[in-house]
Structure 1
Amino acid sequence: MEQHETFFFPPTVNPVRSQQLVKRLARGEIINRKSYNEGTSQLEESELYVSLAGNYEFYKALYLHMGWHLIFNTQGEFFYVSRVPEEDALEEGDPNSNRINYTLFALADNMVKRGFELGVLWSLHGGISNEDLAQMPDRDSEQWTVMTALGFKDDVWAEGIKTLKTRGFVFEDSRGSIIFSNAAKYFIEHLINKFAGEGSALRVATVPTES
């Protein structure tokens, strides 16, 4: 007779948060350590992140039986699930898909070309304003063409940002500016070596150390 492993839920595992985690991770969202509180306009510790971090081995085994690899990126301080092991996740595009990759890269590249430092993107006092978005490349540009090829339609930059928000890579602050999460910061730094070349304003040396 086939033996089935029995899971005993630790007392520190909250059933309501577990349900929230399944829904969000299954949608392809990442769980950042910090989440934006619109009431205080500050970043606060995410309860979902705390639950995952405090019960990581339990959740890791649980999700594995569901066919997912729960990946804890300690450098970027975020969690996500992948259908492939951690060592293959970046190359397989989960959550580092081409749509996520290119949208993050294009936004950062254009901000730097306009004279901003990368640190502005993840600063609560900076971000990408509506005025900045109006300066993004138009329909005749190569970047617009690439975004269209990736499946974005109509206003490709607005759609790209909507995707990033849904996945947890950016959030909108009380001013209406788009701020990169710590996960987005991590992936931008990862992508610089992969994509930066002639015609790109991004270089490894331009990435400031977060204070």
Structure 2
Amino acid sequence: MTPFSQISMVKSQQIYTTFVNGKVITKQAYDLYQQRFIESPLYTELYNNLEHFIQLYLHIGFTLNFNVEGEFFYISRSEVEEDADTNATKIQAMLLIIARYWVDKGFDLDDLTTPVLGLGRTALEEIAEQTIYDDIRQALGIETWEKAINYLADRNFLYPCGDKHYVLSSAGMYFLNLHVEKYSEDQ
């Protein structure tokens, strides 16, 4: 086990703050200024000191979860399962709306992870105009489409890559692919 003195206190605090604000930590984050994906120093810190952070979060009542396929970390606590389920439902429903819109337009889902393509202003406006999508948003208790997109971005499932332009993170894409696989199995 890595001694506490060898772990960056600043990064450890940033990791904790990120998690308790309901965010995931992805391997790559979109840097708006460099206009490209960059390696996340918080992910690297977690990955390089995994056993330390697993034990740390266990000691403070959380489970550190590592999703290998989606390349992201998140924490959970059994006492807040209902809140987590509500958040997961909102996240998954919004991602599925985006995916359904995207596929209906004839685009490849992988394009949502490409900054040059991604989810732009026109797509967001067209999604907002569809009654069925709007009904789902309202049923989720999200006031506006802007707040829905911010909800995903605030949790690192989407990254802004321009004005009213977003790209899916690896965590967002993981959940989309998971649901596509489930749907394909059911058919």
**Is TM (by shorter chain) over 0.5?**
yes
Q: CA deviation at 1:134?
A: 1.1
Q: CA deviation at 1:40?
A: 1.5
1:16 counterpart = 2:10: yes
2:91 corresponds, among 100, 105, 112, to 100
Separation in 2 of the partners of 1:52 and 1:137? 37
**Percent sequence identity over aligned pairs:** 30
Residue 170 of structure 2 corresponds to: 182
Separation in 1 of the partners of 2:99 and 2:121? 15
Separation in 2 of the partners of 1:95 and 1:27? 15
Residue 171 of structure 1 corresponds to: 159
1:30 counterpart = 2:24: yes
1:112-139, CA deviations, whole angstroms, 9 ceiling, x for partnerless residues?
1012111111112211110111111537
Separation in 1 of the partners of 2:151 and 2:162? 19
Which sections of structure 2, spanning at least 5 residues, go unmatched?
A: none
Separation in 1 of the partners of 2:84 and 2:57? 19
For the Cα contact (< 8 Å) 1:72–1:79, is it kept in 2? Answer: yes
1:150 counterpart = 2:140: yes
2:120 corresponds, among 121, 125, 129, to 129
Separation in 1 of the partners of 2:112 and 2:24? 18
SS at match of 1:151: coil
Structure 2 counterpart of 1:185, one-letter code: M
Separation in 1 of the partners of 2:180 and 2:77? 25
TM-score, scaled to structure 1 = 0.79
1:192 corresponds, among 161, 180, 184, to 180
Q: CA deviation at 1:93?
A: 5.0
Q: Do the aligned partners of residues 95 and 47 (structure 1) sit closer, same or farther apart at CA in structure 2, a change above 3 Å counting?
A: farther
Structure with bigger RCO (C-alpha 8 Å, 6+ apart)? 2
2:75 corresponds, among 63, 71, 81, to 81
Q: CA deviation at 1:10?
A: 4.9
Indicate the RMSD between aligned Cα atoms, in angstroms.
Answer: 2.4
Structure 1 counterpart of 2:75, one-letter code: V
Q: CA deviation at 1:94?
A: 5.9
TM-score, scaled to structure 2 = 0.88
SS at match of 1:106: helix
1:54-109, CA deviations, whole angstroms, 9 ceiling, x for partnerless residues?
0001000110111110001111110000114xxxx9xx956971000000000111
Which sections of structure 1, spanning at least 5 residues, go unmatched?
A: 1-6, 197-202, 205-211
Structure 2 counterpart of 1:19, one-letter code: Q
1:138 counterpart = 2:134: no
Separation in 2 of the partners of 1:125 and 1:175? 13
Q: Do the aligned partners of residues 10 and 72 (structure 1) sit closer, same or farther apart at CA in structure 2, a change above 3 Å counting?
A: farther
Q: Do the aligned partners of residues 175 and 160 (structure 1) sit closer, same or farther apart at CA in structure 2, a change above 3 Å counting?
A: closer
SS at match of 1:17: helix
Rg (Cα) greater in structure: 1
Number of aligned residue pairs: 182
Residue 119 of structure 1 corresponds to: 110
- Deviation above 3 Å: which 4+ runs of structure 1? 92-96
